[in-house]
Amino acid sequence: MRITFLILLLNSLFFTQVVSAVSEEAKLKGALLKAMKTHDTQMVEAIAGGGYETIDRDDVLQERIYEYLDAERQRAIAAKEKAKADALAKEKAKEKAQIDAEHAKKAAEAKAKADAIAKENAAVAAAAAAVTAKKVAEEKKKTDAIAAKKRAKQKAAAKEKAKKDAMAKEQARKKAAADKKKRDAIAAKNAKAKKAQQAKAAEKKRKQAVAAKKKAPKKQVKAKKVAPKKVAPKKVTPKKVATPKKVVAPKVAPKAVVAAPVAVAATVPLTVSDKKLIGTWKQVSSEKVITLVINKDTSFSLEQVEDDGTLTILGTWKSEENIFMLSIKKVQRNVHTRDTDIHRIYKVERLSKHRLVLRDKRNRIAYDLKR
């Protein structure tokens, strides 16, 4: 047992020494590699020349040490060369600064001389400009006087034109009022005549009906006296009652014949000609002036001028038989404009070379235009 214990103890001591030696080797190599990494050349030379057996016998490590020291020598040489080049560059920069200072001095002197010349030239130019400005001011004064005289003349002409326009407008208003009064009088006269004719026709019809009523019973009585007693009254009565109707009918017929041409003339549709529609139409009254322009390309413009402003309508048109249709795309009131999509349908009551009368859907006269 004692022998075994001693053997184990000896083995343990030997292993400890081996491990310690390996640990020292690793530390030494680690320090060497760290010095090489941080470019600590003094430490590298100290470890490499320290006579450490582990370092000296490691060929790979010796090769790395040699390469490192050679690279450091090359770096030192490059650093010296760089320092020498920097010193030379510094010397050249100093010489350049001196040359630049001399050039700057010369440039400043030249600039001062040029400024003095420019100042003198500016004074001369200012004097010349003052003379020119005086001449220009005198010319402008003359031109302004001429322009003011021309404006005064134009203002007087515009005033005269406005006066003439006002007179023309007043005359147009009076004419339109007279035309309207005349039309209203004619319409009233026609309405009165028509009413009288209708009353006369109604009275005539009433008299004819009364006469027929008075005449019918007498014939029925005669029929009853003549008819045999054996014949049933139901068979005889229709024949005798039908007779008055045939007799009365010719008397009423003349009225129908007289009225028929008027009704036919009113219902005959007016065929609208696009060629007649195209052009500029106007309607002038005391309240407003309407201008309708119908173009060949199916576009139209309607301008309505009143005391409180102007209404302008733009869009397209088309006609079919006696119908005139407007598709309104844009409406402008004075300076305010809006887009829209409105359709208006008018009935053409009259279309001639110089007159266009349109009625709206309520059968009222919407426009009575002339050209």
**Is 286 within 8 Å of 371 (Cβ atoms)?**
no
In the prediction, which pLDDT does 180 show? 87
Q: Which residue has the tokens 């010369």?
A: 106
Distance from C-alpha of 277 to C-alpha of 271, rounded to nearest angstrom: 12
**Is 365 within 8 Å of 358 (Cβ atoms)?**
yes
CA distances from 168 to 99, 165, 286, 309, 367 (A): 92, 5, 11, 19, 22
In the prediction, which pLDDT does 4 show? 65
Q: Which residue has the tokens 């080797």?
A: 25
Q: At what angle do helices 233-267 and 59-226 cross, to 10 degrees?
A: 130
- Closest C-alpha to 212, from 256, 239, 250: 250
Longest dimension (CA), the chain: 188
User: Is the Cα torsion angle 351, 366, 342, 301 positive or negative in sign?
Assistant: positive
In the prediction, which pLDDT does 238 show? 43
**Is 283 within 8 Å of 298 (Cβ atoms)?**
no
Residue 24 tokens, joined: 């020292």
CA distances from 190 to 122, 176, 234 (A): 94, 20, 51
In the prediction, which pLDDT does 8 show? 64
- Closest C-alpha to 46, from 35, 62, 57, 54: 35
Using only C-alpha atoms, what is the Rg of the chain? 64
In the prediction, which pLDDT does 5 show? 62
User: Is the Cα torsion angle 352, 353, 356, 357 positive or negative in sign?
Assistant: negative
**What pLDDT tens digit does each residue of the chain (371 aa) get?**
556 666 666 655 654 544 455 577 788 888 888 888 888 888 888 888 888 887 888 888 888 888 999 998 998 899 999 999 999 999 999 999 999 999 999 999 999 999 999 999 999 999 999 999 999 999 999 999 999 999 999 999 998 999 899 989 898 889 888 888 888 889 888 888 888 888 888 888 888 888 888 777 554 444 444 444 544 444 444 444 444 444 444 444 444 333 334 333 344 456 687 888 999 999 998 889 999 999 999 999 999 999 888 999 999 999 988 899 999 999 999 889 999 999 999 999 999 989 999 999 899 999 999 99
Cα–Cα–Cα angle for 208, 210, 215, nearest 5°?
95
Distance from C-alpha of 86 to C-alpha of 148, rounded to nearest angstrom: 81
Q: Which residue has the tokens 């590298």?
A: 44
In the prediction, which pLDDT does 291 show? 95
Contacts 24+ apart (CB under 8 A), 65-70: 65/32, 65/36, 68/36, 68/44, 69/41, 69/44, 69/45
CA distances from 344 to 147, 313, 326, 359, 363 (A): 51, 12, 5, 11, 13
Distance from C-alpha of 172 to C-alpha of 284, rounded to nearest angstrom: 7
